[in-house]
Amino acid sequence: MSKLFPTNENAIERVLRVAIGAGLLAIVFVGPQTPWGLVGIVPLATGLIGSCPLYTAFGFRTNK
């Protein structure tokens, strides 16, 4: 599992991703109620998991 989802995000980045993802998802239910808010699932999921597939693909890490 560690090869599939290696932890490659810093703790601060994870918190920001979760906050941004939750904010975007809120657009689906509150505000303009547009389906574009579903894009928030991506940063929310990557923030909760701690692994970004694009970081893994390009060999990039923000944690030590």
pLDDT of residue 1: 57
Q: For the purposes of burial, counting CB atoms within 10 Å of the CB of 28, is it exposed (0-12), middle (13-18) or buried (19 or more)?
A: middle
- Residue 33: inside a domain: yes
Residue 20 lies in a domain: yes
**Residue 19 belongs to a domain:** yes
Residue 3 is predicted with a pLDDT of: 78
Domain assignment present for residue 1? The answer is: no
Task: Output the CA–CA distances (angstroms, integers) from residue 63 to 7, 26, 28, 55, in the order listed.
Answer: 8, 28, 31, 11
Whether residue 17 is contained in a domain is answered as: yes
Q: Which domain holds residue 41?
A: 11-58
Q: What is the pLDDT along the chain (64 residues), one digit of tens a residue?
A: 567 889 999 999 999 999 999 999 999 999 888 899 999 999 999 999 999 999 999 999 999 8
Residue 3 lies in a domain: no
Is 63 within a domain?
A: no
Query: In the prediction, which pLDDT does 44 show?
Result: 97
pTM of the model: 0.88
- Whether 64 is covered by a domain: the verdict is no
How many domains in the chain?
1
* Per-residue model confidence (pLDDT) at position 64: 82
